[in-house]
Amino acid sequence: MDYCNNESCSGAVSVPDRNFGRGVNVTKPGNDQELLKVAQDLVDASVGTEQVEVILSNGESTTVKVHSGEVESLTSAGSAAAGIRVIRDGRLGFASCGTLNPIVLSETLDSARDNCRFAEQDEHNGLALADGVDVVPQNLWSDSVLSTTVDQKVALALDLERQVIGLDSRVSTARSTSYGDGWGQAALASTNGISRVTSEASCSIGTQPLARHGDETQMGWGSDASRDPESLDLQKVATEAVERATKLLGATKPSSVRVPILLEPRLAVTLFGMVTGMLSAEAVQKGRSPFADRLGEQIGSELLNLVDDPTRSESLGAEEWDGEGLACRSNPLLKAGVLQMFLHDSTTARRAGLRSTGSAVRAVRGLPAPGPQLLVMEPGETSAPEMLRGVTTGLAVQSFAGIHSGVNPVSGDFSVGADGVMIRNGELAEPVRELTIASTIQRLLLGVTRVADDFEWLPGGSGACSVLIEDVSVSGS
């Protein structure tokens, strides 16, 4: 991959809106049937036996960034997007645009049709067929996001920055502190009679404090997300962010060792989220998953229970329907470490002679593909303090770096940069940085020796607990 990333992204604020773009005020909130009608009208323009699927989104968002007690930027904008999939004689064409302008939408449909001519035939190509599975209704809307004034949004961001700077004398500034919110609606219609529409609104805050001691600077981060601006937990975000920054002051490079690593819930999601990505049926069918032949086998520790479940209403990542308009459902992936299933959209399901698992993920402006939607780990029985006490020598990881360049989802090779705090005789000891952690995804899964009972829903939507993984290569000097 030729990508690079600035670390600062990791603490960036994002409103959870996996499927929904936001933007131009073509329809107002609460008027989502109008959006569905625009989609349905385009579908009704289909000719002959062609299959047409239209997904549309629109919405508005606000982002406030503050610095040193002043507003640094205030962005308020609407945006819209459309993605049109056409299948003719088993050939797939796709086109997208960033507007709901009727002329452009009609041109986009024509482009998608034209694109079909150049793709090769695949008998398994086709849109989703209604499968009779009922949607688990979710309440994704929030009036309070819309009724919050710009002044209140600015005040929230400034308040967070004030709290961050007041907590510790070594923290006198933050790289960035922000509040963001948005509402969005998405509609999907197809010639197979699928017709869905959803509205959603949410808000979030985030900060990246800088802790200084002598010549040294460390950056922390913290964030929270909610459907109600008033329930954003500023104090928790500030405390966590400042702790992360100050904890690493004085960190040095450790000597190379093989030790157990302790991952807090957020990092457990990073690791197991990559695993669930490798359980996409597309990766399996195309010979790109190391777990392709392992159905029914023990691929992880007996302590590991992983479910992909976007129907969990407690989570901010809950969704009603997938990227093809099928009802989202609960899909158990690992039970006591045994691989239960792969995640399917309707194309991979057809190829495998199975039914879709409602796992089509997509951006409005891209094609759907099967993948994980909302990872939920089942809690274990060990308390987090007890888990720590049981480690003689180990590493409590604070953050990973270079996940996108250091994890190969085909071979399973895993090698990432990290920082954190060493564990000595059951207690947190000296901070460490500039180290790498290496293993393979396969070994990490089997190496889980403890799952804690500290289950929490993370701002990004996933639900997870801390885990302890044995025998990992930590490289330093």
Among residues 438, 453, 454, 455, which is the contact residue for other proteins, using CB under 8 A?
Answer: 438
Among residues 155, 210, 295, 303, which is the contact residue for other proteins, using CB under 8 A?
Answer: 210
Binding window for other proteins (CB under 8 A); candidates: 34-42, 91-99, 372-380, 387-395: 91-99
Helix (H) or strand (E) holding 367: none
59 contributes a contact to other proteins by CB under 8 A? no
- The three-class DSSP label of residue 170 is coil
- The three-class DSSP label of residue 327 is strand
Among residues 168, 365, 426, 455, which is the contact residue for other proteins, using CB under 8 A?
Answer: 365
| Least distance in angstroms from the C-beta of 69 to other proteins | 10
C-alpha–C-alpha distance, residues 457 and 376, integer Å = 9
| Least distance in angstroms from the C-beta of 349 to other proteins | 16
| Least distance in angstroms from the C-beta of 396 to other proteins | 18
419 contributes a contact to other proteins by CB under 8 A? yes
Site for other proteins in 25-54 (CB under 8 A): none
Find out whether 139 and 313 touch, Cβ atoms under 8 Å: yes
Transcribe 237-251 into DSSP letters: HHHHHHHHHHHTTT-
Site for other proteins in 303-362 (CB under 8 A): none
Among residues 295, 303, 367, 428, which is the contact residue for other proteins, using CB under 8 A?
Answer: 367
| Least distance in angstroms from the C-beta of 337 to other proteins | 20
Single-letter residue type at 454:
D
217 contributes a contact to other proteins by CB under 8 A? yes
C-alpha–C-alpha distance, residues 465 and 303, integer Å = 12
Q: Which residues contact 411 (CB under 8 A, 6 or more apart)?
A: 290, 440
430 contributes a contact to other proteins by CB under 8 A? no
Identify which of residues 108 and 190 has a Cβ nearer to other proteins in the complex. Answer: 108
Reported in sequence order, the residue ranges of 119-194 that DSSP labels E, i.e. its strands, are 171-190
70 contributes a contact to other proteins by CB under 8 A? yes
In the chain the first and final C-alpha atoms are separated, in Å, by: 27
| Least distance in angstroms from the C-beta of 95 to other proteins | 5
Among residues 31, 33, 72, 235, which is the contact residue for other proteins, using CB under 8 A?
Answer: 72
Find out whether 260 and 466 touch, Cβ atoms under 8 Å: no
Closest CA to 186 of 312, 42, 17: 17
| Least distance in angstroms from the C-beta of 34 to other proteins | 17
Residue 189's DSSP bridge partners are: 54, 195
Identify which of residues 37 and 175 has a Cβ nearer to other proteins in the complex. Answer: 175
169 contributes a contact to other proteins by CB under 8 A? no
Among residues 413, 426, 449, 453, which is the contact residue for other proteins, using CB under 8 A?
Answer: 413
Identify which of residues 23 and 184 has a Cβ nearer to other proteins in the complex. Answer: 23
DSSP 231: G
C-alpha–C-alpha distance, residues 24 and 422, integer Å = 50
| Least distance in angstroms from the C-beta of 98 to other proteins | 4
173 contributes a contact to other proteins by CB under 8 A? yes
152 contributes a contact to other proteins by CB under 8 A? no
Identify which of residues 34 and 413 has a Cβ nearer to other proteins in the complex. Answer: 413
Among residues 28, 213, 236, 253, which is the contact residue for other proteins, using CB under 8 A?
Answer: 253
79 contributes a contact to other proteins by CB under 8 A? yes
89 contributes a contact to other proteins by CB under 8 A? no
1 contributes a contact to other proteins by CB under 8 A? yes
Among residues 15, 171, 219, 349, which is the contact residue for other proteins, using CB under 8 A?
Answer: 219
Find out whether 452 and 239 touch, Cβ atoms under 8 Å: no
- The three-class DSSP label of residue 299 is coil
176 contributes a contact to other proteins by CB under 8 A? yes
Transcribe 54-115 into DSSP letters: EEEEEEEEEEEEEETTEEEEEEEEEEEEEEEEEEETTEEEEEEES---HHHHHHHHHHHHHH
Single-letter residue type at 51:
Q
Q: Which residues contact 113 (CB under 8 A, 6 or more apart)?
A: 50, 86, 88, 93
